[in-house]
């Protein structure tokens, strides 16, 4: 008989990072200004639409490589997305 390993799932975050929320707002506002769906942005950035949703809601703190991909897809400097964080905090 094979032993079955129990998989423990990570519990959901109870508190979102304010920086992640501000970054997500910046991404969402620029995406909507282009009249793009999350799926369109995901395809342009080479990521999944689920990731875009997590980022826009502030559920995910993206790594630098992801920030660069999103900025390139939106046609903005990465600093524009990050500057939004400073204005919100």
- Whether the per-residue pLDDT at 17 is higher than 80: the answer is yes
Q: Which letter does DSSP use for residue 75 in this model?
A: T
88 has pLDDT over 80: no
Answer whether residue 11 is part of any domain.
no
Q: Average the pLDDT over 5-23 and give the result.
A: 78
Of residues 8, 7, 23, 10, the one with CA closest to residue 60:
23
Residue with tokens 């809601």: 57
- What pLDDT, on a 0 to 100 scale, did the predictor assign at position 33? 97
Q: Is residue 75 part of a domain?
A: yes
Separation CA 85–CA 18 (nearest Å)? 8
Specify if 12 maps to a domain.
no
Residue-range definition of the domain harbouring residue 64: 18-88
Residue 2 has pLDDT above 60, yes or no: no
39: domain CATH number is 1.10.260.40
The tens digit of pLDDT for each residue in 28-81 reads 999 999 999 999 999 999 999 999 999 999 998 899 999 999 999 999 999 999
| Domain assignment of residue 62, yes or no | yes
Confidence class for position 26, pLDDT limits 50, 70, 90:
very high
CA dist list (Å): 10 to 2, 7, 23, 45 = 25, 10, 23, 26
- pLDDT of 56: 97
Report which of 89, 87, 86, 12 is spatially closest to residue 54, judged by C-alpha positions: 12
């Amino acid at each position: 008989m094979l032993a079955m390993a129990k998989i423990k799932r990570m519990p959901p975050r109870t508190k979102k990072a304010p920086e992640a929320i501000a970054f997500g707002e910046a991404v969402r506002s620029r995406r909507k200004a282009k009249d793009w769906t999350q799926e369109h942005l995901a395809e342009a950035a080479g990521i999944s639409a689920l990731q875009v949703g997590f980022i826009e809601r502030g559920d995910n703190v993206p790594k630098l490589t992801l920030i660069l991909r999103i900025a390139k897809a939106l046609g903005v400097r990465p600093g524009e997305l990050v500057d939004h964080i400073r204005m919100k905090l």
